[in-house]
Structure 1
Amino acid sequence: MSRLVGMSALGGLIIAALIVGVMLLTASPAANAQTVTVHKTPWCGCCAAWVDHLHDEGFDVIVKEEEDLTPIRSQLGVRAELMSCHTAEVAGYVVEGHVPAREIRRLLEEKPDVDGLSIPGMPQGSPGMETPNAPDPFDVIIFSGEDARTEASYRGTRLVSEPARP
Structure 2
Amino acid sequence: MKLTYAFAAFGLAIATPLPALAGTINAVMYKNPSCSCCETYAAYLEKNGFKVELKPTNDLAQVSAGLGVPANLQGCHSVVIGDYVVDGFVPVELVKKMLSERPAITGIALAGMPMGSPGMGGQKTESWKIYAFTKDGKAPSVYAVE
- 1:79 corresponds in structure 2 to 70
* Number of matched pairs: 125
- 1:141 corresponds in structure 2 to 131
Q: Shift of the alpha carbon at 1:152?
A: 1.4
Secondary structure of the 1:147 match is: coil
Q: Residues 51-130 of structure 1 correspond to what in structure 2 (within 5 A)?
A: 51-130=42-121
Q: TM-score, normalised by structure 2?
A: 0.79
Which of the pair has more CA radius of gyration?
1
Task: Give distance in 1, aligned partners of 2:124 and 2:89.
Answer: 17
Task: Give distance in 2, aligned partners of 1:101 and 1:152.
Answer: 12
Q: Residues 25-64 of structure 1 correspond to what in structure 2 (within 5 A)?
A: 32-64=23-55
Q: Shift of the alpha carbon at 1:55?
A: 0.7
Task: Give distance in 1, aligned partners of 2:143 and 2:62.
Answer: 26
Task: Give distance in 2, aligned partners of 1:46 and 1:135.
Answer: 18
2:100 partner amino acid: E
Q: Work out the percentage of aligned pairs sharing the same amino acid.
A: 33
1:152 aligns with 2:111: no
Q: TM-score, normalised by structure 1?
A: 0.70
> Is residue 123–residue 137 contact of structure 1 (8 Å, CA) maintained in 2?
no
Change (3 A) 1:108 1:134: closer
Larger relative contact order (CA 8 Å, sep ≥ 6): 2
Q: How large is the RMSD of aligned CA atoms in angstroms?
A: 1.8
> Is residue 125–residue 136 contact of structure 1 (8 Å, CA) maintained in 2?
no
> Is residue 83–residue 96 contact of structure 1 (8 Å, CA) maintained in 2?
yes
- 1:157 corresponds in structure 2 to none
> Is residue 37–residue 90 contact of structure 1 (8 Å, CA) maintained in 2?
yes
Q: Shift of the alpha carbon at 1:102?
A: 0.7
Q: Shift of the alpha carbon at 1:134?
A: 4.7
